Amino acid sequence: DFMKQGHGMLLLYTLKNPSFPEYSFSSESGVMCLDFHSDHPYLLAVGFYDGNVAIYNLKKASSQPSYKSSAKSGKHTEPVWQVKWQKDDMDNNSNFFSVSSDGRIVLWTLVKNELVHMDVIKLSADETTMQGPEGLQLQMLGSGTSFDFHKKIDYLFLVGTEEGKIYKCSKSYSSQFLDVFEAHHMAVDTISWNPFHLKVFISCSSDWTVKIWDHTIKTPLFVYDLSTAVGDVAWSPYSSTVFAAVTIDGQAHVFDLNINKLEPLCTQLVVTRKKNKTTHVQFNPVYPIIIVGDERGLTICLKLSPNLRKMPKEKKGQEVKKGPEVEIAKLEKLLSLVREPGSKE
């Protein structure tokens, strides 16, 4: 609630003791998003409701972030919806991106103990200027809500907006989009590249749908209507065809396209209290566990039953191949069924 600005907390747990956090930090503004650095896992980038971003260093015994943006140093003017670390740049400086409703996507680089910002892209709504009072032209900004960077093509990233469009962008062109997808009727809540297949990404929205796309095709390949607003969606790290979604009626859905292209394998009520919404879902990178977060501030760890992670059976004398190539082929086979027969791509 913009009028009632509250405090924020950042809590870090271990699965060995889910009842009490290992680390806790409190902040003046609500915490909207966070991301661990993949090479330096003690570095945590955080985005706040007041538009600031910060870096916490878990090696330091301080309750304050090691680095934080300020009004002078390019903070966002609206909530930061997502932050994502990138590979260290040419000078070995750590850097991350942030996206906010103010329509800016900003690159933050750690240079000699300060956060330096650079605007990568400004999203502008279609009818960029609006007639203001006395014939003034007002600039309209698109509002970014989510983004994701391509796993292999370094410059390529996608941005989801409150208007439901998805922009395909490049880090090198700040004024041009490579492409625009008319993706959803309402805000795009999450957008994510498939960890295996380089062309495929998934998006979900408050318009009740989850959609799977090939970034070279303007229309979605798969559309799932989950009959209520979808808060978050996540690909599994172990299979190219498995993803999980959470809806605001407190349910978690797990799909495996390889087994069923139309229905979820499992839909389970995770949050029982009325008026509580599930907001986030994430897979554990190693174990068959998903974690679901809700609006009341609870996180729930769920273990996927063996039926939800069936691997293909080995026939006698045949070894079942495993590995990224198999995962890519598996998804490619499904996509070839839904792509236009005429298109060779």
* Number of neighbouring beta carbons within 10 Å of residue 138: 10
- pTM (two decimals): 0.79
Query: Token digits for 7?
Result: 């405090």
Say how far apart CA 108 and CA 260 lie, in whole Å. Answer: 42
CATH number of the structural domain 8-339 = 2.130.10.10
> Residue 202, CB half-sphere, CA atoms under 13 Å: how many?
26
Say how far apart CA 13 and CA 23 lie, in whole Å. Answer: 7
Query: Token digits for 130?
Result: 């609006």
Q: What is the pLDDT of residues 145-187, one digit of tens each?
A: 888 888 888 788 888 888 888 888 887 766 667 778 888 888 8
Query: Token digits for 182?
Result: 């008319």
Q: Which residues contact 335 (CB under 8 A, 6 or more apart)?
A: 197, 200, 214, 221
Domain boundaries along the sequence of the chain: 8-339
Burial class (CB in 10 A: 0-12, 13-18, 19+), 14: exposed
Q: What is the pLDDT of residues 93-113, one digit of tens each?
A: 888 888 888 778 888 888 887
Report yes or no: 116 and 106 within 8 Å, Cβ to Cβ.
no
Q: How would you write the pLDDT of the chain (345 residues) with one tens digit per residue?
A: 666 777 888 888 888 887 898 888 888 888 888 999 888 888 899 998 888 888 888 888 778 888 888 777 778 888 888 898 888 777 888 888 888 887 788 888 888 878 887 777 777 655 444 455 565 555 555 677 888 888 888 788 888 888 888 888 887 766 667 778 888 888 888 899 888 888 889 999 988 999 998 888 888 888 999 888 888 999 988 888 889 999 888 888 998 888 888 888 888 888 877 778 888 899 988 888 889 988 888 888 888 888 777 666 555 555 556 667 777 887 888 777 777 655 544
Cα–Cα distances in angstroms (integers) from residue 318 to residues 65, 66, 322, 323, 327, in the given order: 54, 54, 12, 16, 18
